[in-house]
Structure 1
Amino acid sequence: MNQPNPAGLDIRGAIDLSGLQRPTPAQERAAAASAAAAAQAAPGVIVDLTPENFQELIESSAQVPVVVAIGASRSATGEQMTPVLERAAVAYQGRFRLARVDADTAPEIAQVFGIQAVPCAIAVIQGQPLPLFQGSPSPEQVAQVLEQVLAAAAEAGVTGSVATGEAPTAPVEPPEPELPPLHRAAYEAIEAGDWDGATAAYTKALNENPADVDAKAGLVQVALMKRLDAVEDAAAVVLAADAAGPTDVAKNLLAADIELAARRSAAAFARLIAVVKATSGEERETARKHLVELFELEDPASEVVKRARRELALALF
């Protein structure tokens, strides 16, 4: 099945509804069941997908997952699938939005999703379609699929819900915890480019609480920024370190700083490990300490840091 991105399409006004025939008994029964389910749901949880609201619904999938139920009123199976999803939408209380569309009356919308057979359901998360199922699954199967949809949405950061009205609401973020006074002073000094003032604030915070890991990392960060502040041509520094080789400790330490600041932590770590291998005594210890300090600025659980720590241990022993 093709999976085009409907968020990039605008099909508003593409459907002429003037030629629709009188509803069949099957259509009337389906409409009555849908109306009953919609009456139980909060406003905006169950909607009819049309060319006019297509773009808005697709865009809303960046905040709350959208499940598109594509049925066909001429199909008995279609009459069974959509009501199951409607009851689920009521039960989930706005954790996803259900958009209904009849492929008989709106074939263009079905074509946008590359549909080959109906009834079927598609999830849309951040504008991306995800085929769910075809036919008429049981309520238990629908519940299982919806849990997978919500899990996938959460991984993509889509965790909003439809509360009232037509627009989904994003979850309320908890307020940022207030910075301790010394950390706030250090941050303000950094903003002003006052490296010495920031160092003094973080040092005082660490003296008051030796377990303050944020102050420890802050000291390393400020020292790095102070060193980089004096660099005029970063590319020239890295090239000079490469030309000098791993025995030139000073040049390689500064080059590693530049690489780390450029988010090339693996290259920075590899450079300093090469210095550790090529030197001895005080020079080797200087390179080792510098590398360990740079570890403080990265996620200790990252594979890059774990690999570099293993390679450092091998280089030392």
Structure 2
Amino acid sequence: MSQIPPSHLRGAVDLSSLVNRAATSGGPAAASGADPDSPAQALVLPSLFFEGTDANFNDFLDLSMTVPVIVDLAASWAEPSQQLSRVLERVIQDYAGQFVLVTVDVDSNPQLAQAFQAQSVPAAAAVIAGRPVQLFAGALPEAQIRDVFEQLLQLAAQNGVTGRVTVEGDGAAPAEADAAAEPQPEPLPPHHAEAYEAIERGDFDEAIAEYKLAIAQDPRDTMAVAGLAQVSLLARLQGRTADEIRSAAAQDPDDAEAQELVADLDISGGHVDDAFDRLLTLFPKLGGPERDSVRARLLDYFEIVGVDDPRVMKARARLASLLY
């Protein structure tokens, strides 16, 4: 049984609406130039890193016949999403051509967001031999991400996808080659940076402490509030299994703590509506501290998913009706 946060490969989503779309420019053109009469085990591409859109994703489906394609489902406004993107770029670089990374802005590419069931960000998926595979949701520690990648290589080998990419020129990724010419992003605030490093180490307690310090310094630091909610969820799930969590909740449907853990599990897997409905259905049955605990958990979820998300707005309205 796998540990939570999930480190196993989960399910598949339907990309059939994308498969037949006419390919357009903007993807890795070298993929279509492979010799059709011989196994495409080596490709020369301009980069290991690409931007995926609703228009150009067919190119990456083709590329996935040779090398696993990692899909970073991202949003520029979400700090945890930016953190995950940086970790994925570093890990992809370390694998030296065994993967390519395609970053998809879910706000600008609704078809891809729907196809990959991107109910929250950050999230990661993959495409192997034209078939999509969901990987994980949330900003996992780097060590767990590398474990997922190792499992993904095994799955790729089982499907005959064993190629490798060589980057044109000196092998440096364009993100590195153009670094001097492009404006560099502002560094993270100190406590955010410390929290990010702690998450990478799997030290969720330290990350929680750093985010709390950031909030103490600036209570209006919304990114710290969202980061604290997310890392607190990861800490609650650390060392537990999905079977253990769901079994305990099934045995006692009125146990608030058990139901909160299942909701945590659902949020971590992107099942946002399920998590909201579970706790909002339980809420009227509770009183005292348990009621306060479930309300606080829901407020954390609103920060994780995004306060402007339509699902959050709906759940917030439902919670308000139960409170007043």
Query: What is the TM-score normalised by the length of structure 2?
Result: 0.45
Q: Which has the higher contact order (CA 8 A, sep 6+)?
A: 2
Larger radius of gyration: 1
